[in-house]
Structure 1
Amino acid sequence: MYDHQLFVQTLSEFVRTLVRPYDVDTVLNDLALRVTDVLHLTGSGVSLAEDGRLRMITAIPPHLVELEKYQEEHQTGPSVEALHTGEIVLVPDIEQHRERWPDYAEVARSSGTPSLAALPMSMEEEAFGTLSIYAERRDWTEDDVAAARLLADMATAYLVNASTHQQQAELNAQLSHALESRVVIEQAKGIIAEARHLSVTQAFELIRSHARRHNVKIRDLSEAIVHMGMRL
């Protein structure tokens, strides 16, 4: 499952990304995309810690949003456990954990992701958030975990570097911006889905493809859709 050659290439690209002035939400979305590609996952998600609670930032592909949102709303599940314990939580088969997280397990089963893992994004015992990775039935290997953890650690280091005393106010604004981005993107997806008679998943793919072709941020395009009446 783990593609070493792709990992090395991805690592090099990610390093170059992190030395440029990117927004926090862009870096975390990039993390989710890259770890999904490298490990051939069905998807992944990133959440940040805010006042001791887990808040979802991104989930790829969109059908995993419900699974990530469940943990945010109920503050229970593998990612919440990883955040508070600082330990990696490996779940090869969610059916084996129904007693542990009964409702979460049902949401995971419905989303078609029986195997998942949650990795804490932390440094020097300070928790910043979690990286969740999802797959079809899979026994997580040491290589899988090592690759995901290295990418997560790099993204965490970016957050730490951005949180120096001189930049603390800016970082807090960026984190709030990241949380607000989710709201406006969800609104844009709904608008495009209704206007084009598409599913929400199809609407998101249309928005993301348009953003890539025109080299604009998904957040900026979503703002134009929601507040300026732009249609694709």
Structure 2
Amino acid sequence: MSAGMSPGRRECRRSGEPVYDHQLFVQTISEFVRTLVRPYDVDTVLNDLAGRLNAVLTITGSGVSLAEEGRIRMVTVIPPELAALEHHEDETQEGPGAAAYRSGKLVAVNDLREVADRWPGYCRVARESGIAATAAIPLALDGDVYGVLSLYSAPPREWPQDDLAAAAVLADIATGYLINASTHHQQEQLNEQLRQALDTRVIIEQAKGVIAEAYTVSVDEAFERIRRHARRHNAKIRDVAEAVVKVGMRL
């Protein structure tokens, strides 16, 4: 480490090369881990994460794309001027992000001019957007890829291992947010299904009691009447039960 440098930052590899802000990186991790245990909006978190990543790595921009039916779809990009590049990759599935998604491996390009033959359309749009270098990191866990974190640099840029390692940690955090949000959504769906099942059981039991009393039959016979009526009229048993209880229908 050179004299006068903060212990939270590493020395540039060569003059003019952006500096990886380790102190900001640690602060970002701390803040996002705390957010994970509180209610949050996924889009807002990913947008904030992209903005923090730009500051941590001193890069031109970054974006997050999520997997959808075997493709990647842009969710957020900062600055918004890079949206055209991300949209192009969405539409064509051509570029480092799509390649990282398909392979589940990091794809880093120091100078897009060197891969113009591989991704001609992507490289053209990148040039028009003022981007010369890019890296894409899969958002993955246990072999499942949930999306891609993309890094953008206006000048050609080497992607040092320290920078990519820091970005990979933030990608893991983003993956954690996605999985946590998915699990929460699944739990909400399960709770709603259980609530509907309980409501259905309650209304059917009420209808059985009404029919049993009205026709002086057992509750088993009352249920058979409800079921036969539902079959004859191609209706759901719950709908018939609700008609019995709420509008006084008799079978």
Is TM (by shorter chain) over 0.5? yes
Is 1:116 the equivalent of 2:134?
yes
The aligned counterpart of 2:174 is: 155
Choose which of 20, 28, 31 in structure 1 pairs with 2:38. 20
Structure 2: state its 5+ residue gaps: 1-18, 190-251
Task: In structure 1, give the amino acid aligned to 2:82.
Answer: L
Structure 1 moving runs of 4+ over 6 Å: none
TM-aligned CA distance change 1:102 to 1:125, over 3 Å: same
Q: Measured at CA, do residues 141 and 52 of structure 1 come closer, stay the same or move farther in structure 2, by a change above 3 Å?
A: same
- Native 8 Å contact 1:117 1:134 kept in 2: yes
CA distance in 2, matches of 1:34, 1:81: 24
Alignment partner of 1:37 out of 55, 66, 77: 55
2-structure distance, mates of 1:114, 1:18? 34
| CA shift digits 1:116-160 (9 cap, x unpaired) | 100000101111100000113210000110011101101101211
Conservation of the 8 A alpha-carbon contact between 1:31 and 1:152: no
Q: How far is 1:170 from its partner?
A: 5.8
CA distance in 1, matches of 2:77, 2:47: 8
Q: Partners of 2:136 and 2:62 in 1: how far apart?
A: 10
TM-score (norm 2): 0.65
Q: Unaligned 5+ residue runs, structure 1? A: 172-232
Secondary structure (helix, strand or coil) at the match of 2:100 reads helix
CA–CA separation in structure 2 for the residues paired with 1:12 and 1:120: 22
Distance 1:151 1:160 in 2: 14
- Is 1:52 paired with 2:45? no
Q: How many residues are aligned here?
A: 170
Which amino acid in 1 is paired with 2:86?
Answer: E
Q: 1:170 to 1:148 in 2, by over 3 A?
A: farther
Provide the C-alpha distance between the structure 1 equivalents of 2:129 and 2:182, rounded to a whole number of angstroms. Answer: 35
Aligned partner of 1:143 in structure 2 is: 162
**Identity rate of aligned residues, in percent?**
58
Work out which structure has the larger RCO, using CA pairs closer than 8 Å and 6 or more positions apart in sequence: 1
SS in 2 for 1:9: helix
**Which SS does the other structure have where 2:98 is aligned?**
helix
Equivalent-residue separation in structure 1 for 2:55 and 2:92 (angstroms): 29
Q: What secondary structure is seen at the aligned counterpart in 1 of 2:55?
A: helix
Deviation at 1:169, TM superposition (A): 7.4
2:92 counterpart residue number: 74
- 1:18-44 CA distance string (max 9 Å, x none): 222111111111221111110011000
Contact 1:18 1:27 in 2 (8 A): no
Larger radius of gyration: 2
Q: For the Cα contact (< 8 Å) 1:48–1:57, is it kept in 2?
A: yes
Q: TM-score, normalised by structure 1?
A: 0.70
Q: Is the 8 A contact 1:78 1:118 kept in 2?
A: yes
Query: In the TM superposition, what whole-angstrom CA distance separates every residue of 1:68-88 from its partner, at most 9, and x where no partner exists?
Result: 000001111110010010000
CA distance in 2, matches of 1:16, 1:159: 15
What is the CA distance between 1:59 and its match in structure 2? 0.8
For the residue of structure 2 that corresponds to 1:20, the secondary structure is coil
Matched, 1:128 2:146: yes
Task: Give distance in 1, aligned partners of 2:86 and 2:93.
Answer: 10
Q: Distance in 2 between matches of 1:170 and 1:115?
A: 42
What value does the CA root-mean-square deviation take over the aligned residues? 1.5
Q: Distance in 1 between matches of 2:188 and 2:69?
A: 17
| 1:130-209 to 2 correspondences below 5 Å | 130-135=148-153, 136-164=155-183, 167-168=185-186
